[in-house]
Amino acid sequence: MSESYRQPGVVLTDRWFSVPLDHGVPDGERIELFARECVAAGREDAGLPWLVYLQGGPGFGAQRFSGKQAWLGRALRDHRVLLLDQRGTGSSTPANRQTLPLRGGPREQAEYLGHFRADAIVRDCETIRTEVTGGAPWTVLGQSFGGFCVTHYLSTAPEGLATALITGGLPTLDGHADDVYRAAYPRMERKTLAHYACYPQDAERAARVVEYVAEHEPVLPGGYRLTPEAFQSLGILLGTGDGSHRLHYLLEDAFVRTPAGHALSDAFQEAAQAILSYAAAPLYAVLHEAIYAQDGRPTAWSAERVRAEFPRFDAGKSLADGTAPLFTGEAVQRWMFDCDPALRPLRETADLLAERTDWPALYDPARLAVNEVPAAAAVYHDDMYVDTEHSLRTARTIRGLRTWVTDEFEHDGLRAGGSRVLDRLLGLARGEL
């Protein structure tokens, strides 16, 4: 089934595919995938090569564009593009607090979600590729977690790839989640201090919010319980190019004067709820640490455990010491399943996933070392979401991979940079640069 329609300069076709829930049981239960085909207007009948886009996350559907926004316009110059909603996201068979009870209790839900990591996503791509391209290999573009999927693709099915492009998403090949977060918290501190250097007034503002939240324990309009730790996690903004400015504008209007004294403004609460809630992407929280699991050890709420090794992130201690609180970001912690009403029903399911020890390996360093697929990766200097040193170590393992290390962009460079990031990667992969 497909439906076509137009936006300025682009012809779009909505496509659906049926794939096995468990690719190891191809005749078993099936789920639905949604993907949006994009081609430049006037080139609908051209024999263009395909580029499939894998979104970051986990848990986010493919970007919804209006016309030739961001990198899409550059891609459409050379390719027919497939924007894939990875399993469980977007318009693909959804997995959230509303649908997962159809599977049964937490144990059945956890077993089901065990099929939603990069390995299954790549098998999905290979399953639909024959139908989409007629069997020809395609170019794959992976942003953030999408790059983790591309690295798995190179490890397991490189014959399906004409070119591999990665932006902000070269994973550690063998590091446990603990290693990821031990590298991450110092970056979060650097990003926070850089923010305060740019906006010194925000140090006092953030301390006021922490003090108020600790005393009043407010519940935001959508039911989110705002704790000091939840407030600190607004630092997820600091990993994007405009995030520091957005955080500043959020903090400058945090309080209003009321008959009962100063209180958090409705505007602040509404904006904070929009940033903190995982209602639109619950798999991001439920599966976030599972994307690193592969060595027989449980992740066991790694971000929360490792955080205790960095006492500077204790907001209460910061208040007592008279120092500005540090912000966190890209660190899913168990308390989020108490604070966020979209996650509360999934708390036991997430606990079971955090305890799991039999996750299969995701990457094959030996196969990556003999890679023959033209490949290029943008590595963002001091990326808050993906450790730069981990990425460069992986880059050295993948034979022929060309890297572009830049501090011009933050983690969202593919979106924020318009056509420039994709254009650079295509040039590197083609040997033009």
Contacts of 104 (CB under 8 A, 6+ apart): none
Among 277, 387, 411, 412, the active-site one is 411
Closest CA to 72 of 419, 430, 375, 376: 419
Q: Quick one: residue 80, left, alpha or beta (phi over 0 = left, psi -120 to 50 = alpha)?
A: beta
Known catalytic membership, residue 2 = no
Please say whether the beta carbons of 211 and 203 come within 8 A.
no
Annotation marks residue 176 as catalytic: no
Kindly name the residue from 144, 233, 302, 391 that is annotated as catalytic. 144
Q: Is 380 helix (H, G, I), strand (E, B) or coil?
A: strand
Backbone angles phi, psi at 377, to 5 degrees: -140, 135
Element housing 334 (H / E) = none
Which tokens hold the place of 356?
Answer: 């799991």
CB proximity list for 24: less than 8 A, separation 6 or greater: none
CA distance 178 to 304: 10
Q: Which of 87, 102, 95, 100 is CA-nearest to residue 18?
A: 87
Q: Does the annotation count 387 as an active-site position?
A: no
**Token pair of 415, please?**
């979106």
List the catalytic residue out of 2, 27, 66, 358: 358
Which pair of tokens denotes residue 350?
Answer: 């997430």
The catalytic residues are: 144, 358, 411
